[in-house]
Amino acid sequence: MLQAREIHKQFGVTTVLNGVSFVVNDGEHVALIGANGAGKSTLLRCLTGESPPDAGAVILSPSRQRIGYLPQAFADLHGETLAASVAAAQAALSAAERELERATAALTDPDAAAALTDYDAAFARFEALGGYLQLQHAEAVLHGLGLGAIEPATPVASLSGGQKTRLGLALLLLLAPDLLILDEPTNHLDLEALAWLEDFIRAYPGAALMVSHDRAFLDRTVTRVLFLDRETRRVTSYPGAYTDFAAARVHEAALHREAYLRQQEYVTRVTRDITRLKGEALALERATTPRQPSVRKLAKKKARTAKSREKKLDRFLAADERVAKPRPSWGLKLDFGPPPSTSRAVLSLEDVSFAYPGRPPLLAHVSLDVRAGERIAVTGPNGAGKTTLLRLIDGRLQPVHGRVRLGTSVVPGTLAQEQETLDPARTVLETALAKRPLSETEARSFLHFFLFTGDAVFRRVSECSIGERTRLQLACLVLRGCNLLLLDEPLNHLDIESREHFEQALAAFNGTVIAVAHDRAFLAAFARRTLEVRDGTVHSTP
């Protein structure tokens, strides 16, 4: 069991966590969600001891239970090769296997009795650690996370960022800790690896606390949601999966609005009554003389009643029980606006093939037609060529065979997975001004809708977080007036609320969209056609 008790954490004068308390029970699988910047990763680091809290306590029961922690940016890989990394994660099992091999070889010794005793002891230790089933389990984990085809002798340093993250997750799962703490474990996983991880987590006997923005993943893996509020910096627990949490939040918001409206009706009614009484008292005072004491007495009574009700209203408005005004939902406010007119035929690929120098063909004889207004999802295993396909469409790569044709008046816009379309030396404001002639005031007002407020517009792109650079790319697409959007993992590093706002913006966009994505909730809401890239081919399904 893990218990967080009144956790406080500050960075300078900024309070990140303010009295966070919750419990994760044995074998329970729990989600931790909240907006970007709410403090989720900070809370996980407090729980693991990587960044101790300023106040409060983290209690493990029993105290000897093992925690396996996967940070969002995983880079702590042991060993120089893939095989060495896996062996380091299973050091005890590997040592027991080597001892068993030595004991087996010693069975040929003339002193067979002693050798047999040593063999029995070595075999018992090996089996206690899982034995050959555990070694097979390692192969299954690597294969399930899309690493099975990589040569064991491959240097870890040569792996891509996504492969390193998946290897880090694989090594953590091989350790089989009592409590898994995972920060964005679904990043860089294709649909097949996502499905495998879901099955693994569901069957995992230990407890798990996971930060994820993948709604479908959470619906399939957790039974409780901890919501970290960016305003209060506290955690609220909700039973059920993500869909249950979302419904509960909608219900809470509706009740809050109703209570606030009733309160405002009461305040308006009392304020109106106070004004009426004051007016009547003043009118009687002005219409009478001191020789009319009974009427003057009535005027004073009305004035005292008004004053009493005014004080009562002031106490009500200052009370903690007063219902605060509901805050407007604050996240990405995207409005692509009407796109430029476009021809009916937006895109055509004619017998396109592509290969990187010195490598086998990645795409071979691909033919494809895209019509105006289509919503197309591009899926397939990692490394199959999905990003390459988008780069062929927008002209950053040229096919070695065949032709890519864009329709007349088509204006493509690319949201790149690695943000390489942004100039790291420019500021956020300079980036926006380079896309469309605007005054500085107009540009700053526009960027405000993408959460770049105050002096944040003067920050250089190189100093922005990954999520901020994603928002800036979206802003640039809006400014350019694109009518063909090419989106490579557009939801990476966006919190759930921002993902939902992004989906709403695309639903209102009249142009054509081709998106590489692995978020199943997004695909179900967005895609009307799917292109599966696999084994050098592109298969289209309506």
pLDDT tens digits along 490-513: 887 788 888 887 887 788 788 899
215, pLDDT greater than 90: yes
172 assigned to some structural domain: yes
Q: Does residue 202 sit in the same domain as residue 254?
A: no
Q: Does residue 372 sit in the same domain as residue 293?
A: no
Query: What's the Rg (C-alpha) of the chain?
Result: 31
Regarding beta strands 224-228 and 235-239, do their DSSP bridges make them parallel or antiparallel, or are they unpaired? antiparallel
Top-confidence residue, 488 or 418: 488
Q: Does residue 357 sit in the same domain as residue 222?
A: no
Is residue 316 a contact partner of residue 322, using CB atoms and an 8 Å limit?
yes
Last-in-domain residue among 219, 245, 271: 245
pLDDT for 190: 83
Packing angle, helices 242-287 and 293-318, rounded to 10: 160
Q: Does residue 178 sit in the same domain as residue 97?
A: yes
pLDDT for 341: 59
Top-confidence residue, 533 or 118: 533
pLDDT in tens, 462-482: 888 766 787 888 888 888 888
pLDDT for 408: 85
Q: Could you give the CA distance from residue 130 to residue 137 in angstroms, rounded to a whole number?
A: 9
Q: Does residue 93 sit in the same domain as residue 166?
A: yes
Top-confidence residue, 129 or 141: 141
Lowest mean pLDDT among 54-68, 87-101, 412-426: 87-101
Last-in-domain residue among 245, 270, 290: 245
The runs of H, that is alpha helices, within 222-367 are 242-287, 293-318
Last-in-domain residue among 224, 245, 266: 245
Q: Does residue 232 sit in the same domain as residue 266?
A: no
Angular region, 210: left φ>0, alpha ψ -120 to 50, beta rest:
beta
Q: Does residue 95 sit in the same domain as residue 220?
A: yes
pLDDT for 309: 92
pLDDT in tens, 1-51: 899 999 999 988 889 999 999 999 999 999 999 988 789 999 999 999 889
Q: Could you give the CA distance from residue 30 to residue 19 in angstroms, rounded to a whole number?
A: 19
205 assigned to some structural domain: yes
Q: Does residue 396 sit in the same domain as residue 484?
A: yes
- Token pair listed for 30: 């729990």
Q: Which residues fall within 8 angstroms of residue 417, CB to CB, at 6 or more apart?
A: 387, 488, 489, 492, 516
Q: Does residue 76 sit in the same domain as residue 158?
A: yes
Q: Which domain holds residue 501?
A: 345-423+466-541
Instruction: State whether residue 513 is helix, strand or coil.
Output: strand
446 assigned to some structural domain: no
- Token pair listed for 258: 């109703």
136, pLDDT greater than 70: yes
pLDDT in tens, 111-128: 666 777 778 887 887 777
Average pLDDT over residues 411-430: 85
- Token pair listed for 495: 């919190």
12 assigned to some structural domain: yes
pLDDT in tens, 298-339: 888 989 999 999 999 999 888 877 888 887 655 556 666 666
Average pLDDT over residues 97-119: 76
pTM for the full predicted model: 0.75
Is residue 208 a contact partner of residue 30, using CB atoms and an 8 Å limit?
yes
Cα dihedral sign for 523, 524, 530, 534?
positive
Q: Could you give the CA distance from residue 140 to residue 144 in angstroms, rounded to a whole number?
A: 6
Instruction: State whether residue 205 is helix, strand or coil.
Output: coil
pLDDT for 417: 66
251, pLDDT greater than 70: yes
DSSP label at residue 455: G
Domain count, the chain: 3
Top-confidence residue, 341 or 108: 108
Identify the band that residue 109 occupies on the pLDDT scale cut at 50, 70 and 90.
low
Task: Give me the phi and psi of 17, to 5 degrees please.
Answer: -130, 135
247, pLDDT greater than 90: yes
Q: Which residues pair with 69 in a beta bridge?
A: 181
447 assigned to some structural domain: no
Q: Does residue 80 sit in the same domain as residue 112?
A: yes
Q: Could you give the CA distance from residue 213 to residue 219 in angstroms, rounded to a whole number?
A: 11
Q: Does residue 515 sit in the same domain as residue 418?
A: yes
Top-confidence residue, 152 or 335: 152
Average pLDDT over residues 81-104: 80
333 assigned to some structural domain: no
pLDDT for 120: 80
CA angle 468, 470, 476 (to 5 degrees): 105
340 assigned to some structural domain: no
Question: Burial of 410 by CB count in 10 Å (0-12 exposed, 13-18 middle, 19+ buried)?
Answer: buried
273 assigned to some structural domain: yes
pLDDT in tens, 442-463: 999 888 877 788 888 999 998 8
CATH of the domain at 176: 3.40.50.300
Q: What is the dihedral of CA 281, 286, 289, 293, to 10 degrees?
A: 0
Q: Does residue 225 sit in the same domain as residue 262?
A: no
